[in-house]
Amino acid sequence: MTRTGSPAARYDRIGHGYARTRREDPAVKARLVAALGDARSVLNVGAGTGSYEPADRLVIPLEPSSVMAAQRPANSLPALRATAHAIPLHDDSVDAAMTILSLHHWDGHQEQGVREMCRVARDRVVILTIDPEVSVRMWLMADYLHEVAALDARTCPLPAEIAEWIGNARVEIMPISRGTPDWTLMSFWAHPERVLNADARAATSGFARQSSEVVNRVVCDVRRDLESGAWDERHGHLRSQSEFDAGLRLIVRDVSR
Ligand SMILES: C[S@@+](CC[C@H](N)C(=O)[O-])C[C@H]1O[C@@H](n2cnc3c(N)ncnc32)[C@H](O)[C@@H]1O
């Protein structure tokens, strides 16, 4: 049973239907696989439904939410039911540890979680996360959904801070393509109409963590501005752009300790 406030609780509440709109992006996956290098064993922290797990390595998924774990492919290993800040593995027991768009959910335990990843991984640590100083500039957060800008500022550590926890890590920009099949909130940069799609909204924690009053306000405002042409007047240049830096950052430790 899920306890309110436990790490499993959020995704047991909002994770239903995640696999429908949150499918892996091949370009992002290629960058992640390159960052994993020759690692043969990979711990995936906050593994969710299994997106971005390389099929040709031994992947150990760690996932606290039953709703997310239940959407994993039948042929994957059963997920370790644990959390990032207390990884139930010995020191140096895997070649690499990765975490994809999960770190901002490790409330109050982010540094500890990253240090745990460094403890269990012999070599590589690969983190895909959000830079809150960049995500705030996207039209959705800047013009309509200030609540998510505030949430990101509270829950997303700066990449430089994460790199400092890891020591000897590099930070790379991960642009988001117009056609990405992983409909994160950041993917809305190219698709304002997606704000009007309840399934698309529900599979993003940014919308799913807001009250219905906030969601209704944003939907009404975006619909009004699409119908009047105000959105296209302000942001229409994005309609012909193929990719955009919405704040996604890849942080990689790739040297043996
Ligand atoms: C946005 S989903 C990302 C899932 C997957 N990595 C992907 O890219 O599709 C965030 C995941 O982090 C998990 N999570 C939340 N809190 C966690 C914690 N403290 N430790 C580990 N995972 C956590 C959630 O249950 C959820 O599955």
The pLDDT value given to residue 257 = 47
The CB density around residue 228, as the number of other CB atoms within 10 Å, is: 10
The pLDDT value given to residue 159 = 98
pTM of the predicted model as reported, rounded to 2 decimal places: 0.95
Question: What is the C-alpha separation between 23 and 45, in angstroms, rounded?
Answer: 17
The pLDDT value given to residue 59 = 97
Q: Measured from the CB, is residue 11 less than 6 Å from ligand 1?
A: yes
* Domain boundaries, given as residue ranges, for the chain: 7-253
Residue 191 CB contacts under 8 Å (≥ 6 apart), including other chains: none
**Atom 10 of ligand 1, residue of closest alpha carbon:** 102
Q: Measured from the CB, is residue 61 less than 6 Å from ligand 1?
A: no
Instruction: Report which residue type is found at 211.
Output: S
Structure tokens at 102: 């999960």
Q: 254 CA to middle of ligand 1, Å? A: 23
Which positions of the chain have pLDDT values less than 50?
1-4, 257
Domain topology for 7-253: Rossmann fold (3.40.50)
Residue 224 CB contacts under 8 Å (≥ 6 apart), including other chains: 230
The pLDDT value given to residue 256 = 54
Q: 231 CA to middle of ligand 1, Å? A: 32
Instruction: Give yes or no for a contact between 47 and 62, defined as CB atoms under 8 angstroms apart.
Output: yes
The pLDDT value given to residue 30 = 98
**Atom 5 of ligand 1, residue of closest alpha carbon:** 48
